[in-house]
Structure 1
C-alpha cells in the first residue's frame, strides 16, 4: 500500500541520492576499516532512516509494509552494512515494542529509536538456541517485583554499540518450548550486562555483531515488554514475521546491483578477441540472474500488499525470505563467475557482495527451517 505516491517517490529520491553520493563511494573503505564513519551515521539520523517503520506518533515515518519493502530494496543496492546500522531500529529492535509494548514503554523508547539517539538490538539467539529459539537457556528468576537475569546471547547485530537490548529469557521455571519466555527491555549500563568486543566476520564489515553477557542482571518487572510475563516468544515471532519480509527486500537490492555490475563487466572484459557478453553461456548467467531479481521482487511486493490488507502472511513471509535469499546467493555466485579470477580476489564489488549476502540464508531463519515451515503449513492447509 503506497499511501501518497508523490511524497513516497520524493522520499525514495532523497534516499537514492544519499546512497549513491555518500555511501557507495566509501564501500571499500568501510569494508577495509570495518567501520561506518560517524558523519555518515549522523546523516542517517538527519534523514530519518532509523524510524522508517516506527509509527508517526512516536517520531517515525510509519511506512506501510509495501513502502518499507521498496525502501529496503533501494537501500541494499549499496553495501548492506549501511542498512544494518539503522535497520535494527526500524526493524526487529523496535517492532517488538510497536506490536506488544505498553504505552509507557512506547513513549519512553520509540522516539529515541526513531531519532537514532539510541541504538537497539534484539537479543534472542544463543549458542544452543538458533534455529530452535525455544531452547534458550537464559533465565529470569523472580525476586519480588524484580527479575534476576543470567545467560549469554550470541551473533547479536549491533550488540557492541547498542544502548537498548530486548532480551529474551525463560521466566517460568520448568516451562518448556515457547511457553514461559519473557522479553525484557534492558538499558546499557545496567549492572551485570556487558558486551565483549565485536566478532570478526566473513562479510558485512562495518556492522558490529557480538555477544551479550548477562550476569545476575536485576531489572524491575515493568521492563517486561507489554507487561505480560511468559508471552515473549509470541512477541519475538510477531516481530520476525514482519522482519522476514523486510529481509527478503534486502536480498533483492544486492541482486539488482550485481546484475548491473555483471552486465557492465561482461561488456568490458575481452576474451578471444571480443567482449564476453557475446558468449551465450555468459548471457545465460545474466538472464537467469535478472529473472531471479524480478521473481523475488514480485513475490516480496505481493506479500507486503497482502500484509497491508490485514491477511495472515506467515507462510508467504517464509516463502519470501527463502526464495529471495537463495536467489540473491545464486546471483552473487554468477557475478563472481563472470568477473572470473578478479571476482575471487579482494577489491571488487563481486567479491565483496558475495561475502556480504551469504549471511542472508542464515539469519531470520535458515533456508532449511523455512522449507520445513512452508511444507508443514502447506500440508496443514490441505487437512483444514
Structure 2
C-alpha cells in the first residue's frame, strides 16, 4: 500500500478552495490510470519463456529448455567435463537468453567455499587503509572473490564481536589492517587455526602471514636523506608509540643518526597521533624546547602537513631554516607549500599482494604462516628538504 501525503497552505476564498480540489482530483485520476496500467501488466498472458525471465533462472530450467540433463548443463556452466562443442554453445546461448546468473550460495555448497574474504580495517578515513582496500578489492574481484569489510573505528571497538561476525559469514580467509588489534588476544582466540589470515601488522600469536613494508628501513631512509641534504640537528614526530610501526620507524632513524654521530635525545622526539593537528602541536613543543632544530621527520604525511603549518606560523623558512620529510606520499603531498619530501609506501600494491597470498593459503588449505613479504619503499625528494632551493 502506498500512502501519499499532500502538504499545503490553507487559502481563503471559495475560488482557491475549488482550485485546490481540482488539483487533487486531477492527481487522483492520473494515479488511478497508472495503477490500472500497472495492474494490466500482470493480466496479460505471457509465454513460458517470459515467465522464466521474470524469475531467477535455475540450471534445471536451462536443462529443460536445452533438452539435456541437469548434469550436462552443470558441466558446461562450470567449465568441467567433456561436452560436445555444439551442445556447449546451445546451452550457453540459452543461459544467456534467459539471463542466468550463477548462485554463489549453491556453488559454495559444492566447493565448501564462499569465495568471500573478510577484511578487518582500522579507521576507513585513513588514506593508507582505503588505498590498501582498493588494491585488495580489485585483486579479489579479478580472482572472482568478494569482500566483507568491518571497520574498527577506535580502540574501544569490540574485536571479539566483529571477528565473530566474519566467522558467522563463513568467509574463506581474513585480511587484517587494524593496528589496534596488535596487542589483542581475542584475534588469536577467534581466528587461529580456523582459517587463513594475512595481516599488514603483527598480532598476538604466530599464525598470520605478514605482507608489509620494512618499517625500520623507513625510519632509516628518512635519517639518511636528511643527513645527505646537510641537516644535523634532527627531530622526529612519531605516530602513537603503542603502534609497532611507530616504534620501528623510530628505531631505524635512531640507528642511522647515531651511526653518523648525530644524537637523538628524548627532547627531540615528540609523539603524535598520525593526524595533522598532532603534527602541528608537536612541532610547537619541539621548537620551544629547542629552537635550533634544523630538520623534522614526521612519520606520516598528515603530521608533516601540520609541521609545515607550524613552521610557517613560527616564521621558520622551509627548507633553509628547517627541512621536513614525511612518509606515505599522499596525493596532496606534492601540492604542499613547499612540496613535501616523503617516503613512498606501495600501499595499493600491498593490498594486491596480501590478497594473492591469502588466496594461495586458501587454495592450499593451509593455516601455517608464510615468511613475511616486505615490499620496498623509496624516497620521493621534493623542495621541503632541498636547502638553498628557495
- What TM-score results when the alignment is normalised by the length of structure 1? 0.22
Instruction: Compare CA radii of gyration and give the structure with the larger one.
Output: 2
